[in-house]
Amino acid sequence: QELTLTEKTVNRALASARAPVERGVARLKSWHIFRRSRCSPNRMTSIAKAVLTLERQR
């Protein structure tokens, strides 16, 4: 079934909001530091949040 103009617009807006986050997560997964970290998981969460914020600003 064909989408309406409103539905297409909403889909485009969602896709443009999701793209930076998906790129950021993909970048985090490629970093070996997160696989072999020896620090607190809470600290790694803070680091991951910071990286995602910086990636989104890019």
Q: Give residue-wise pLDDT tens across range 5-42.
A: 999 999 999 999 998 888 877 887 777 767 777 777 77
21 vs 2, residue with greater confidence: 2
Q: What's the pLDDT score for residue 26?
A: 83
The domain containing residue 43 runs over which residues?
5-57
Give mean pLDDT, residues 45-50.
82
Whole-structure pTM over 0.75, yes or no? no
Is the Cβ–Cβ distance between 56 and 21 less than 8 Å? yes
Instruction: Check residue 5 and report its DSSP letter.
Output: H
Residue pointed to by tokens 């999701």: 18
CA distance 57 to 24: 11
Q: What's the pLDDT score for residue 22?
A: 86
Domains in the chain, number: 1
In degrees, to the nearest 5, what angle opens at C-alpha 29 toward C-alphas 19 and 52? 50
